[in-house]
Every structure is written in C-alpha cells, then in structure tokens.
Chain A
Amino acid sequence: MRTTESSRVRRFAIAALLVLAWACSASEQGADGKTVPRLAFVTNGVASFWVIAEKGARAAGKATGTKVSVHMPAEGIADQKRILEDLVTRRIDGIAVSPIDPANQTELLNATAARTNLITHDSDAPDSKRVCYIGMDNYAAGRSCGQLVKEALPDGGQVFLFIGRLEQDNARRRRQGVIDELLARSHDPARYDPPGQPLVGESYTILGTLTDQFDRAVGKANAEDALSKHPEVDALVGLFAYNPPLCLAALEQAGKLGEIVVIGFDEADETLRGIQDGTVYGTVVQDPYQYGYRSIAVLAALARGDRTLLPASGFIDIPARQIRAAEVDAFWADLRAKTDGR
C-alpha cells in the first residue's frame, strides 16, 4: 500500500518538473516561433566596467534582433573555461570573450572557435583562431595620454610614470605610447624602453616608471617615494585606473596638490573629481559600452553569414577618448546613467 502512494507522489512530482522544464525550453524560441541567433558576451570578471559593456551588448541585441546572454566569470580562469564549454554545448551562434590569460588559453579558444564564431574584445588572443578583435589600441591610447601631458605642460617638464605592471602587453604599449609622444618619436608600438633609466627628450624628461603589481599600498608608496626623490617633478602620470587616485593622495600628504599636475587613465571617481577641482588635468577613458555593442553587432552579422563588418586587419578599433575639464561633467553624467541599476 505504502509504495503505491509514495510512487504516486513521486510520479506527480516528476510530471510537474517536466511540464516546468518544457515551459522553460519553449522560451528558447523567438516570439514568432522562428529561432533567432543566440549570442554570448563573456567578460574576464565582475566589474562596473563590464556592467556598462553589458548595456551596450543588450542594446545591440535589441537592434539586431538577436538573443544576448552576458556571462561574468566570478571565479577566475577555470570559471571562464566552464562558461565557454557550456556555451558551445548550447550550440550558441557566436561568442565574444575577453580572455583572462590569452597566452595559456589558445587551446580552449581554438576549441571554441572550431564550434562557433569566436571574437575577442578588450584583450586579444592573437595566436588563437578568433575571427577578429574589438578593443582599444593601447599604444594609440598611450599617445593620446601623452598629448594631455603636453597640453598640461606646454613649456615642457619632468614627468614620472606609475603603472600596475609591465608584464602584460596592454600595459607595456600604453606606457610606450606616452613615452613616444613626449619624446616626439615616430609611431612604433613594438618599441620598448626598460623602466630603469631616465629618458631625456628635447622638452620633456621621463624621470622613471614604478610598478606596483596591483598592490594599492605599494602604488601609494611609489608616488610618495617619487615625490621625495624628485621634488622637481612637474607631472605624475597614473596609467592604471587606481594609479591617479593614489598620486592625488600622495600629493595631498605632501601639500603639493595643484602644484604638481596629475594626468590619468580610466574613470575612477577621484580622478574625475580631480579634473573638476583642477588637480588632475585630464584622463583617457575606454568605451566599454562600444565593446559590448560592436561585439554583438559583429557576431549578429556573422551568424547571418554576413562578413562585411570584418576588417581585413582583424582589428576593430574602439578609440579611447580624452576627458578634460570641459568634457568631465557631461562624461560623468553619462557614465552614471550607464552604470545606474540595470
């Protein structure tokens, strides 16, 4: 007796589950019953930068009539691998990914590219079989930052650079762009000046470059030490998002805020406030919204067999923008609108 009753309960539970699952699977199709291309945007972690990119990706999904899912790996590289495998399993029609460790992920990226349209954004994996890369040219962005330094110090001066680390390609190129612009050199992204000795140009001197391996305390100590060692410095240039705020903190302690100018990268709140207050001359910002938007636009075209959006070089440049006192209010308002809520 007991078994029949409990098996009835079990049968009912299974039936209910199946109906629920079926109802969910039905939502895989578009409203008109036709299947729409399904595309995925995969980031390299969880950050407000990516929330802006997600907005761009979703807007492009609406504009192109595609179904977009956004995935932010919360547990690092193993998590990103799992997400890519599961997306491929779903026979997704295209993936845009910001690889966490491109040099060691070639195999995974190639396996993914063999099964779907794969593009990279934000950070490239040139050795993989990705169709194209959408992002910023860090060398050009560095030169753009160098221009801001020149505007801030029109009569020349001495400059100190701060950056997270130089082992990664984007950091190296970004720094080199600043140096080449200040020393009025030709365009050569492959050039590399080791950070040790000062670089002297006609009107600008780069006194040195200090790295902090992403340790904020070290970054601040670097700025403090540079100020004590080179009291004659005219400008501090912070090349990773958190560097300009640390430069400002060190200057405030030294009582030299406003006396020595800061030029920054990215859009930390302190950096933007510094531009409003006049302690920061300007900053160079990336455009994550466009990373998301253009990635999905390219994938949507690829899914429909249209390859006209692909450049011959395999690189779609989303140029960095310069933000000075004149642009900062509008930029900040727009940024808040894009990051507020979902």
Chain B
Amino acid sequence: MKKILGILGLLIAICVFTSVASPYFLTAFNIENLLRRSALFGILSIGAGIVIMGRGIDLSIGSVVCLTGIVTPWLLTEHGWSVGPAVVVVLGLALTLGVAHGLLITRLGLQPFLVTLCGLLLYRGIARGLTADQTQGFRGEFAALRHLGNGRIPVPGSDSFALPVPCLIVGILAVGAAVLLHRTVYGRHLLAVGSNEEAARYSGIDTRRVTTVSYALCSLLAGLGGLLFVLDVGSAQPVDFGNFYELYAIAAAVLGGCSLRGGVGTITGILIGAAVMQVLRNMITLTDWIPDTVEYAVIGAVILAGVVVDELVKRWAAARARNLADTG
C-alpha cells in the first residue's frame, strides 16, 4: 500500500489540478472516456508488469497490439471469417509469440531485450506486409463484437454515466492477476525469480518455466489489448497502430511501483500508473494554454517531477524518523 501512495498522490494531484483548470474534466462523458482509455492501456500494463516483476522486459507489446489489431479486421472483413474462430486465432497467435519469446530467452539464453526488440520489428513488418500497408477496418459492421471495445454498461441511478466495457474486462483481469501474483505458488515463484533468479533456481523452482509463462501472459494480454483497441477505434493502420505502446505500458508498470530490478510490484499500482498517463494527455487537450506540440514534454516533466517529489518525501520522512528515534 505504501509503495503506491506516491503514484496515487500524483494521480489525485493531476485530477484536482485539471478539474479546477477545466470545467469539463469532471463531466460524465469525460470520465467515461478516461476510464475506457486507462482500461485499455491498463491491460497492456498488467502484462508488462508481470514480465518486469520476473526481471524481464518486453519491447514487443506495441507491435503485438499492431499485429492483432490488424489481423482481426483483416480476417473478418477481407477473408470473411466468423467472429469466434477469428478471435481464437488472434489470441492464440499472441500467446504463441509470447511462448516463443520465453523459450528463446530461457532455453537459448538470449537477452530479453534483444528477443523482444526483434519481435517489435518483426510483428509490425509482418502486419504491414500482410496487408500491403492498407488500413484495416470493420466498415461499420460487427457491432456486437465491437461492443467489447466501445460498449457501455448502464449504471442504475445515472442517465449520463455508463461503465465502459473495457473497464469490466480490466477489472476481471486485474483481480485474476492479483490472485495469481499474491495467492498462488506461481506468483510467489515469479517474484522469487525476479528478486534473485539463482537463489530461486537452487531452491528448486523451475525458473525457466516461470519466466516463459510470464512472457506468454504478457503477449497474450498485449494481443487482447490490441483486439480491444481496434474494436474501440474501428480501424487500424499497420504503419502506426500501437506505436510506442510498449513504452507507455512499461512506464505505467514502473510508475506503479514495479522495479526494473524485478521482484516487486502491485496490480493496483500498475493500473494507477496507466491512468496517470491518460489523465495527463486529457489535461493537455482540455486546457487551451498547453499547445499539443509540447505534449510529450509535459508528460515527461510531470512524471519526473512526481517521482522526484515522491523520493524526496520518502527520504525526508526516513530522516525524521531516524532523528526522532535518536533524540527520543
């Protein structure tokens, strides 16, 4: 809990600031939009977080998003597949890619950075080649399936506000991931591998299997995220769909308390981290006086300021506690 206080404080500070700066921030419409975007990025971030907790890294997330985001409408509209098989094939494809990453890293001993960097190049290239760089979209059809990405669940007692469907999906995934991490043997093993792989191996943990599963889960979640992203947006261009999403996912996980040195992290923190990124972008568009061109600079500066303040407050509190203990 203590670990996520800093990032929670940052999220609240940005929300309070934006709600005062813009009268539209707290409208039902905007809150819904923010919840949906945070949920979609949250799905990717949970995957990134799982890999990072096992002291790995996955740079291929954005390209997996692109591949599933492109292949889904491509199968459905260009090739006339029905929804069931298309979804199964797309998610199966993502899972297979993740297993392949895991095996290359654990069995062949390749660097995770290198394997997933090649994935980043490979999958976007495949998506572009497969479609000859053509935009893939649903052409206004498949409304029922698209509900998963852009649907709203009415909330009793409110006419204007409804819960976006991706929120429900990320909620289920988050509970599942939290249980997996903190209540199962696999979760304990993953954190042990992340803290000290050698020690984990000597204590009898099948570290290769644990690591492979973490990469498989990450790619599966990225694939699901890509599917939901394209269902929400309606179409995808191979050249830029999902570009940089791996960095947003990794940033959300690290902001949310995962250490790149492995072994620590919470799902709640990761979701808050994902929300911070989305609220920051929303703030920039909602307030007139920040030009869009400096958007990335503002996001970078606010996050950096947030973590610096968090670190200073922690040190100050620790020093005070020491002083009190010495004098008292």
Please indicate whether A and B come from the same complex rather than being unrelated chains.
yes
Q: Which residues of chain A have a CB within 8 Å of any CB of chain B?
A: 2, 6, 13-14, 17-18, 20-22, 24-25, 27-28, 38, 67, 69-72, 74-78, 81-83, 85-91, 100-101, 103-108, 167, 213-215
Partner of B137, one of A22, A82, A86, A103: A103
Stretch of B98-106, B179-187, B279-287 with 4 or more beta carbons under 8 angstroms from chain A: B279-287
Report the nearest B residue to A100, measured CB to CB.
Answer: B237
Smallest beta-carbon distance B291→chain A, Å: 8
Q: Which residues of B contact A213 (CB under 8 A)?
A: 132-133
Cβ of B198 under 8 Å from chain A:
no
**Given A75-B244, A90-B286, A104-B234 in contact, is the A21-B18 Cβ separation under 8 Å?**
yes
**Given A18-B16, A76-B237 in contact, is the A71-B285 Cβ separation under 8 Å?**
yes
5 nearest A-B residue pairs (beta carbon)? A104-B137, A104-B235, A21-B20, A86-B285, A76-B240
11 A-B pairs in the complex with CB atoms less than 8 angstroms apart? A25-B21, A25-B22, A69-B288, A69-B292, A72-B293, A75-B240, A78-B229, A89-B25, A104-B137, A104-B234, A215-B133
Cβ of B317 under 8 Å from chain A:
yes
A70 touches B288 (CB 8 A): no
Kindly count the residue-residue contacts between A and B in the assembled complex, taking CB atoms under 8 Å apart. Answer: 120
Cβ of B241 under 8 Å from chain A:
yes
Cβ of B204 under 8 Å from chain A:
no
A82 touches B37 (CB 8 A): yes
B292 touches A70 (CB 8 A): yes
B33 touches A2 (CB 8 A): no
A86 touches B140 (CB 8 A): no
Smallest beta-carbon distance B233→chain A, Å: 5
Cβ of B135 under 8 Å from chain A:
yes
CB neighbors of A among B236-260 (8 A): 236-237, 239-241, 243-244
The 0/1 profile, CB within 8 Å of A marked 1, for residues 209-245 of chain B is 0000000000000000000010011111101110110
Report the nearest B residue to A25, measured CB to CB.
Answer: B21
CB neighbors of A among B154-171 (8 A): none
A71 touches B23 (CB 8 A): no
Cβ of B113 under 8 Å from chain A:
no
A21 touches B21 (CB 8 A): yes
Given A77-B135, A83-B285, A86-B30, 16 additional A-B pairs, CB 8 A: A2-B320, A2-B321, A14-B13, A17-B20, A22-B20, A25-B20, A27-B289, A70-B292, A78-B233, A82-B33, A85-B33, A88-B29, A89-B27, A104-B137, A104-B140, A105-B235
